A and B are shown apart, each in its own frame.
Chain A
Amino acid sequence: MKTVTEELPVKVIGVHLDRCTGCKTCELYCAVERGSSGKTLPKAVQETPVPKPRLRVERNNDTSLTIQCRQCVEAPCLNACPSGALIRDPKNEMVVVREDRCIACWTCLMLCPFGVIFPWPERKFALKCDRCTYMEHPVCVEVCPTRALEVVDKHKIEEMYREKRRIEAKTGAGSSKKEGRVRCDRGS
């Protein structure tokens, strides 16, 4: 099995948690761009079967975030696919579904550690984010109104987090954010 090495420039979609408002614009337009034939929202809502997105916005307490395929280095879905529908694209190391080969057995769904492969029973194939490989930019990144989504080099994520933690420790921004429930009664 081929593994992704440190040298390969694998890019994934990162989420700035402090910017995600949970508006679901990414979900909506992912379904329009990748799941519909009309390619516009008013056209897509009229289609049958109903278009489906390849990512999901989840909310936990005060935080919301977009979750989509993390393009695992050791991808369980890839190893488990009995029909060979899931492959790793050698050009960009994305795990992609060959829709014509998918037999809708949903094995990949069960094995995905992040729960980011979705069934589309009407079309009989599994849906997962392939970072819109054929487009210049992923549609979710393009449409995000707060620029919470960003295409980042997978190997640089940890570096970015280290830098963020360093700034937070220096400025105390992280702790104040946790306390950040604001009461607005100025002047009373």
Chain B
Amino acid sequence: MEAIHMKTVDPVSQELLRSAADRGLDLSWERHQKLQPQDGFLRVGLSCPYGCLQGPCRIDPFGRGPDHGLCGLDRNGMVAALLLRLSLIGALEALNAIPAPDTISEVSLPAPLDEMATQALKNLEGDSLSLGEIYRTISLLQRPQETPEQMVLQALRLGIITLGLLEQRQTSLDAQGSLLCKAGYGLLAGDKITIGICGHPPRELTEALLKESSRESSVRMQLVSLGDWIRLNDGFLPCACTSGEAELSLISGKINLVLLGPGADPTISDLCQRLDVPLVASREIQETAEILRLARQAYSIPSETSFDPDPSLVHEARVIMTAQDLEPLLRKEKFHARFALLGGADTPQHSFGWIPVELTSALRAEGYLVAGWGDAALWMIKNGFASEGQDHAARILDEYQGPLLALKALAVSGRLENFQGICFTGLKACRDLAVALGLAGLGLKVCVAVPLPLWGSERVRNFLTDKLAAGGGLLTHYDHPANAEEILEWFLKRR
């Protein structure tokens, strides 16, 4: 436990980590440690991820072992094919998030980003974007015959398609206004029955539970999210923690029942079993009365832990859902104010919260206006950086729209030139990588704080850098988990 600060920067999480260690519970950090080193070939992009069933083929980066895959793919082709595959999965994830994907044929970006997209597509050797490119990419990856350069270009085009699909999702949801969200361990303070929600159960079920639980009873009942952004009709479900800390919130003994929806990590159900926390899968039980009965029953059993956080450890912020809501806020700032975007998931490659908390503080001290999404945004809320009524409060953006939403608002308010860059603090889904590629492809400055699997091919790295530079874009990535100082320097260099 001497290196506890290397695991998370949150003092409450550290207390819970100590408790977990005392009880002999292995959490994500221990699993990460046991997985070291992770597949070295894959880390540098030299493992062909089952495009066919003749592999898996791997290329020896040090030149003594195999230098080609079974199909003849060399190291440059393998790295490019892996990048393309990750980008493809990202685009499919974005497509899957659209309520009616089969109604879409063309993909486009909204004005004023459409002009940027047109310019970018000229640079990326193609015209308009269509969903057909996704299917063409699938066939391309069955037997990669294109040159590595063509595959990198296609990965960048898929990145822009991903941006278009995220925009399409927003249009179909018809989101308006900004919504409130509370976050922090303070939500778990006091004596109440708490139902934790992981993943994304059907909204109707969550709303019904919320309504039922708010009825008068001897003990107060509440629903909290364990790190997922769960949208309700009039706001977001309060988040007790970030997604990386979901296991810790279970350790606290304050969660009486877990409602599991699609998208939750398997570890949650394992941990619930070990801790005897009742677990309900939203696909199995939809009866609210039954769920509440189980939660009350679990509450009546005394908890083994004495964890009781300070109730003041909770902050509230407005989550901006559309560019129209962000634009007036931007206009309030000085015309020359600089903007920085931070977003992404917790990653065990960094101490949880370190990059978002350090960077938000440092950038605000340098006079930047900071906006965030994902786990990074939850860290901003938890630390009070996004609370209303303070100067240059950090702005919280819709998790799906994230940087795209900010860019639309900046472009409309004519402040795109003041935009200093986007940092992805951690990548959890391929969608994040595809978005990063798409934004860099549009000509923006993007930085990824965790290593990308591109180090196996200098040719691919150089081509990607040159191609992005030709369109005015930049994708900075590191051969190590970048620290906060490096990323701050990256932002400051953009001034």
Known A-B contacts A31-B62, A41-B455, A45-B44; the reply to A25 vs B37 at CB < 8 A is yes
B62 and A51 form a contact (CB under 8 A) = yes
Residue A112, interface by CB 8 Å: no
Q: Which residues of B contact A128 (CB under 8 A)?
A: none
Residue A12, interface by CB 8 Å: no
B44 and A52 form a contact (CB under 8 A) = no
Residue A27, interface by CB 8 Å: yes
CA–CA, A24 to B40, complex, Å?
A: 9
Known A-B contacts A42-B455, A42-B480, A45-B44; the reply to A50 vs B63 at CB < 8 A is yes
Q: Which residue of A lies closest to B40 (CB)?
A: A28
Known A-B contacts A42-B480, A52-B62; the reply to A25 vs B455 at CB < 8 A is no
Residue A125, interface by CB 8 Å: no
Residue B490, interface by CB 8 Å: no
Known A-B contacts A24-B65, A27-B65, A45-B455; the reply to A40 vs B480 at CB < 8 A is yes
**Count, chain A residues at interface, CB 8 A:** 21
Residue B64, interface by CB 8 Å: yes
Residue B61, interface by CB 8 Å: yes
Q: Which residues of A contact B40 (CB under 8 A)?
A: 25, 28-29, 32, 41
Q: Which residues of B contact A25 (CB under 8 A)?
A: 37, 39-40
A-contact bits for B37-53, CB 8 A (1 contact / 0 none)? 10111011000000000
Residue B456, interface by CB 8 Å: yes
Q: Which residue of A lies closest to B44 (CB)?
A: A45
CA–CA, A136 to B383, complex, Å?
A: 41
Residue A143, interface by CB 8 Å: yes
A46 and B62 form a contact (CB under 8 A) = no
Contact of B44 among A41, A50, A143 (CB under 8 A): A41
Q: Which residues of B contact A52 (CB under 8 A)?
A: 62, 64
B64 and A143 form a contact (CB under 8 A) = no
CA–CA, A24 to B61, complex, Å?
A: 12
Give the residues from 25 to 81 in chain A that come closer than 8 angstroms, CB to CB, to chain B.
Answer: 25, 27-29, 31-32, 35, 40-46, 50-53
A-contact bits for B429-457, CB 8 A (1 contact / 0 none)? 00000000000000000000001000110
Instruction: Determine how close the nearest CB of chain A comes to the CB of B315; give it in whole angstroms.
Output: 37
B62 and A42 form a contact (CB under 8 A) = no
Contact of B451 among A31, A42, A51 (CB under 8 A): A42
Q: Which residue of B lies closest to A52 (CB)?
A: B62
Report which residue of B61, B63, B458 has the largest number of chain A beta carbons within 10 angstroms of its beta carbon: B61
Q: Which residues of A contact B62 (CB under 8 A)?
A: 28, 31, 35, 44-45, 50-53
Residue B479, interface by CB 8 Å: yes
Contact of B458 among A29, A31, A32, A46 (CB under 8 A): A46
- Size bracket of the B interface: 20 to 34
Q: Which residue of A lies closest to B457 (CB)?
A: A45
Q: Which residues of B contact A32 (CB under 8 A)?
A: 40
A-contact bits for B57-77, CB 8 A (1 contact / 0 none)? 010111111000000000000
CA–CA, A35 to B61, complex, Å?
A: 13
Q: Which residue of B lies closest to A144 (CB)?
A: B37
Give the residues from 352 to 378 in chain B that come closer than 8 angstroms, CB to CB, to chain A.
Answer: none
Q: Which residues of B contact A24 (CB under 8 A)?
A: 41, 58, 60, 65
Instruction: Determine how close the nearest CB of chain B comes to the CB of A122; give it in whole angstroms.
Output: 11
Q: Which residues of A contact B37 (CB under 8 A)?
A: 25, 29, 41, 143
CA–CA, A31 to B60, complex, Å?
A: 11
Q: Which residues of A contact B60 (CB under 8 A)?
A: 24, 27-28
Q: Which residue of B lies closest to A25 (CB)?
A: B40
CA–CA, A44 to B455, complex, Å?
A: 9
CA–CA, A102 to B33, complex, Å?
A: 38
Known A-B contacts A25-B40, A29-B37, A40-B479; the reply to A46 vs B455 at CB < 8 A is yes
Q: Which residues of B contact A42 (CB under 8 A)?
A: 43-44, 451, 455, 479-480
Contact of B41 among A28, A44, A50, A51 (CB under 8 A): A28
Q: Which residues of B contact A31 (CB under 8 A)?
A: 62
B-to-A contact residues, CB < 8 Å:
36-37, 39-41, 43-44, 58, 60-65, 451, 455-456, 458, 479-480
- 15 more contacts with CB within 8 A, not counting A29-B37, A42-B455, are A24-B58, A24-B65, A28-B40, A28-B41, A28-B62, A41-B37, A41-B40, A41-B44, A41-B61, A42-B480, A43-B480, A45-B455, A50-B62, A52-B62, A52-B64
